[in-house]
Chain A
Amino acid sequence: MNIFNSILILAAAFLAVFIEAAFSLPHRLLGAQIDVLPVLMIYAALNTDILTVSLLAVFGGLWFDSLSENPLGISILPLFAVGFPTWWLRDLLLRELSFAQFVLGAGASAVAPALAVLLLLTGGYEPLIGWGSLWQLVVMTAGGALATPIIFGFFDWCNHALGYQPIKETSFRPDREILRDKRSK
């Protein structure tokens, strides 16, 4: 993990929230907006440290709520509830496999909005829910699942192209170099 990766994730979360609010094409076509924050949380949990996961939950949640009618701070805990267990179990998860990324993205994209609605209902708010919400959940789950391998690929490419790459150690050791004298030449 390097700091460049953490900054990149937070910047991507900021842009993702804005794009979700500014471009409503998925909402018009499919009846639901796809949320990328849970997917970013999965990436952060599998590839960075707990500090980045926490920062993403707090700032991502606050940015999302600031452009929404949600009470400020309601999205922090659902995001962290997705990120924390994933970070905890990161050594057991097959993060390199596209199928595993797909399943993790689907799970996160389904759990985070469901938890947010549950928190809203617990807090006495009246979100707009009905049978149509099931369709919206399906769209968000499928959209998040499809977006996950793409986002993983994008971040891996960014890290490779822009990030610090450690110099590979060679097997050459100067103290073991065979020095030949003049006679052998």
Chain B
Amino acid sequence: MPHSRMFRKKHYVALGVVTLVAVLVLNLPAPAASHLKTGISALFLPLFGLAGNVQQLPGSAIDDLTPRSELVKQLNALRQQNQELLVRQQQSDSLQEENNQLRAQLGWQRQQKWKLKLANVVLRDPANWWKTVQIDAGTRDGVHEGCPVLTSGGLVGRVSSAGLVRSQVVLLGDPNCKVSALVEDPQRDVGVLSASGPLNNSLAELTYLSGNANLKSGQPVVSSGLGGVFPEGIAIGQVVDSWQVDDGLYTQARVKLSANLGALNQVWVVLQ
């Protein structure tokens, strides 16, 4: 019977079914694909705690071996640092107040203070052709798509998708994370920070700077605030070198990133 003969050739059926499933999943509408992706990745939730505990084992072992005198010394140093930071915050608050008054007099929009959420980096992209990480904060914590992510060192990237308890962060140097950046030189040249090489986590390329930009090595690069995703003035890195592109049509530069993207453990999400 032809019907049974077809099913006897199971490999043709398997080939057809697998291809059909792949094509169907790839052609799902974006919201449905995003929900499905979040649902499938939620299967890994029980393993997150296990991985976290395994990664904390060396740290807790070192804590157990640290002598009490060393801990007391560190505690005193942290107390002193805390006092200094409190004084600086008072100064910063008064400057902020003054800034708000001046902005009000000029009719400018009042600057909002950042609302920050600390998150742990739990996973790294298993594919070698993307630079993303997953953090343990999601929509439940106020995180949403597009939130900037930074460390005390500088800008790290932005949230590309947010689940209930986890979010994916696309890092600087990934093709999907382009940042409008400003070089703090007298001309205040603005360019676009874009993808770097697949192997280098510490460098990114700053493109579309004006053709007559006169960049010098070591000049600081910060976010320009253009585009509305990243607030103005977040440290990105420093210029390493620059060169003219397309017969002087524009200038391109390499930027050494301030944040160490290769060893991210904790990040701050700017909730705004």
Q: How far is the CB of B59 from chain A (nearest CB, A)?
A: 15
Whole-angstrom distance between the alpha carbons of A54 and B124 in the complex? 27
Q: How many residues of A are counted as interface, with CB atoms below 8 angstroms from the partner's CB atoms?
A: 58
Which residues in B have their C-beta under 8 angstroms from that of A18? 44, 47, 51
Q: How far is the CB of B148 from chain A (nearest CB, A)?
A: 18
Which of these binds chain B: A122-130, A147-155, A156-164, A173-181? A122-130
Q: How many A-B residue pairs have CB under 8 A?
A: 156
Q: Is the interface of A mostly helix, strand, loop or mixed?
A: helix
Which of these binds chain B: A2-10, A25-33, A96-104? A25-33
Q: Which residue of B lies closest to A65 (CB)?
A: B37
Whole-angstrom distance between the alpha carbons of A98 and B47 in the complex? 32
Are A53 and B14 in contact, CB atoms less than 8 angstroms apart?
A: yes
User: Which of A21, A31, A58 sits near B123, CB closer than 8 Å?
Assistant: A21
User: Which of B14, B25, B134, B174 sits near A62, CB closer than 8 Å?
Assistant: B25
Which residues in B have their C-beta under 8 angstroms from that of A61? 22
Range of interface residues on B (Cβ < 8 Å)? 35 or more
Assess A28 versus B17: contact at CB under 8 Å? Given A66-B41, A71-B33, A126-B175: no
Q: How far is the CB of B161 from chain A (nearest CB, A)?
A: 9
User: Which of B126, B134, B175, B199 sits near A135, CB closer than 8 Å?
Assistant: B199
Q: Which of B2-39 contact A (CB under 8 A)?
A: 10-11, 14-15, 17-19, 21-22, 24-26, 28, 33, 36-38
Assess A51 versus B10: contact at CB under 8 Å? Given A67-B41, A132-B198: yes
Whole-angstrom distance between the alpha carbons of A53 and B14 in the complex? 9
B129 within 8 Å of A (CB atoms): yes
* 19 additional contacts (CB under 8 A) given A15-B47, A88-B11, A120-B129: A17-B126, A21-B125, A22-B123, A22-B124, A54-B18, A64-B127, A67-B125, A71-B26, A72-B26, A73-B28, A84-B11, A113-B127, A113-B128, A117-B129, A129-B198, A130-B197, A132-B198, A132-B199, A133-B129
> Could you tell me which A residues sit within 8 Å of B by CB distance?
14-15, 17-18, 20-24, 27-28, 31-33, 35, 49-51, 53-54, 57-58, 61-74, 76-77, 80, 84, 87-88, 113, 116-117, 120, 123, 126-133, 135-136, 140
